[in-house]
Amino acid sequence: MYKNILVAIDGSDLSEIAQSHALALAKAFGANVVLIHATPPWSSLVVGDAVVMYPPADYEQTMDAAAQKLLAKASAPFSAAGIAVKTIHNTDPQAHKAIVDAAQANGCDLIVMGSHGRHGLAGLMLGSVAAKTVTYAHVPVLVCRA
């Protein structure tokens, strides 16, 4: 049924739950897995008359190192189970767009991700990456909650 499963990870407990579901599905269907971690791009912070800047090159290097560490940890159970796994670190201001684009570019037929289940004012203010992914994805999305 599923041949290529994309798993969106962010290092949270919910992300680990999604990884567990994806691992079980990949084993059951003999599917390959693509892990993606999306981070926001560099930006400066303006507070009143002050501008706070983290040097762009340092920011990118720090974010990439953290992403590679997270992706290596997340890919280990898949590799140990003999599942082919590819890792992607993508920088995009809209995480849902990075997830949907990666699924399409890698021929994925399922997206698995966790959701904090924010709704109401919190959902409106913070947005929901899972809800936006479900809205824009052209493949099924399995949303895992605690």
Percent of the chain with pLDDT over 70: 84
Q: Residue 47: which pLDDT band, with cuts at 50, 70 and 90? A: low
Cβ proximity of 89 and 60 under 8 Å = no
The Cα–Cα gap between 71 and 132 comes to: 23
Alpha carbon 138 to chain centroid, angstroms: 16
User: What residues form DSSP beta bridges with 105?
Assistant: none
Per DSSP, the residues of 46-82 read: EETTEEE---HHHHHHHHHHHHHHHHHHHHHHHHHTT
pTM of the predicted protein model: 0.87
Q: How do residues 70-121 score in pLDDT, each as one tens digit?
A: 999 999 999 999 999 999 999 998 999 999 999 999 999 999 999 876 555 5
Cβ proximity of 30 and 95 under 8 Å = no
Class of the CATH domain delimited by 4-144:
alpha beta
What residue ranges do the domains of the chain occupy? 4-144
Between 52-66, 96-110, 122-136, the lowest mean confidence (pLDDT) is in: 122-136
Cβ proximity of 35 and 87 under 8 Å = yes
* Average pLDDT across the chain, whole number: 89
